[in-house]
A and B are shown apart, each in its own frame.
Chain A
Amino acid sequence: MPPIKPTMREKKRYVLFALESEAPLNEETVKRGTYAALISFLGEYGASLASPKFIGYRASDNLGVLRCDHEEVEKVKAALALCRTIDGKKVAFRLKKVSGTILSLNSGFEKEKE
């Protein structure tokens, strides 16, 4: 099967966020909480359009990355902003940066560490 042309691929955006929480949370909990927030705000249909994928979360500096469709990025940002609790603990997502490539987000990761 020939590969899909770059112009035909679905365009993605990577959202770098910092998580402020009243208690430490592990990656699995943050992942479940993030998906729950998206389903709660966008619904199953909206989430399917956003095609979210949790890339990772670093508990040491509370930074995480979520991938979504480029046309739905504002809705994903709103969904994360309106998430108030994960696992019964108060949280606040602080959106840091949105990028088209994960490589440039890595530089954001490094800047945040500094």
Chain B
Amino acid sequence: MIDLDVRFQVRKEKMTEIGFERFLSPFSLELTKVADIRKLPPFSVVSSSDVELLREAAKSRNAVLLYNKGFQADVGLIRDLVGKKKAFEIPVAPLLESSGIARATLMTRMRFFIKQCVHLRAPIVITSQARDSFGLKSPHELIAIGEALGLTHEQAEWAISETPEMILHAAD
């Protein structure tokens, strides 16, 4: 089990105790213009609400995880990632930070985006995107959240084990 996006300094023992074999804190950048993509270091997480910027980032060798902040189910963008050693990031942090109808709306958008990704066979990775220890989630919890977002148990498990493994293997 691998958490590919932990955004604070955490001890390895803590992550092992929670149930993760590996975790990473990669460079993350919110894209504002196309020029940002050229400056990316290897193994970066890029985020944007702009589909065109994300499509450009999908062409970059250094951007391995794409976080579609608006969860727009753009078929062109999703197709761009099919067969590549990259994945869409599905973070849990935005769900933790929202509540009530805002969380419900966010979950609806996430569910539809994930449904399209599964249909088009685009890889997805569930991450905690934790900024403190309270934001960290165990593999069981990530799987349960994945199931709440419309994945089967096996697909959710795949999204925190095999897909991250494939991305790490490709990056080595």
Chain A residues positioned under 8 Å from B18 (CB to CB) = 94
- A31-69 residues with Cβ-Cβ distance < 8 A to B are 40
Digitize A64-97: 1 where CB-to-B-CB distance is under 8 Å, 0 elsewhere. 0000000000110110111010000011111100
Question: In the bound complex, do residue A95 and residue B141 qualify as a contact, i.e. CB atoms below 8 Å apart?
Answer: yes
Nearest first, the 7 A-B pairs at minimum CB distance are A77-B144, A81-B141, A78-B148, A78-B144, A92-B134, A90-B134, A74-B147
Question: How many A residues are at the interface, by size bracket?
Answer: 10 to 19
**A96: shortest Cβ distance to chain B, in Å?**
9
**A81: shortest Cβ distance to chain B, in Å?**
4
Instruction: Provide 30 A-B residue pairs closer than 8 Å at the C-beta atoms, listed in order of the A residue.
Output: A20-B134, A40-B99, A40-B100, A74-B143, A74-B148, A74-B153, A75-B144, A75-B147, A75-B148, A77-B140, A78-B144, A78-B148, A81-B92, A81-B137, A81-B141, A81-B144, A81-B145, A82-B96, A82-B145, A84-B134, A90-B132, A92-B133, A92-B134, A92-B135, A92-B136, A92-B137, A94-B18, A95-B140, A95-B141, A95-B144
Main secondary structure, interface of B, reads helix
Give bound CA distance, A61 to B56, whole Å: 50
Residue B75, interface by CB 8 Å: no
B residues with a Cβ closer than 8 A to A are 18, 92, 95-97, 99-100, 103, 132-138, 140-145, 147-148, 153
Closest to A84 in B: B96
Chain A residues positioned under 8 Å from B144 (CB to CB) = 74-75, 77-78, 81, 95
Closest to B156 in A: A74
Give bound CA distance, A74 to B100, whole Å: 20
Closest to B153 in A: A74
Give bound CA distance, A78 to B126, whole Å: 14
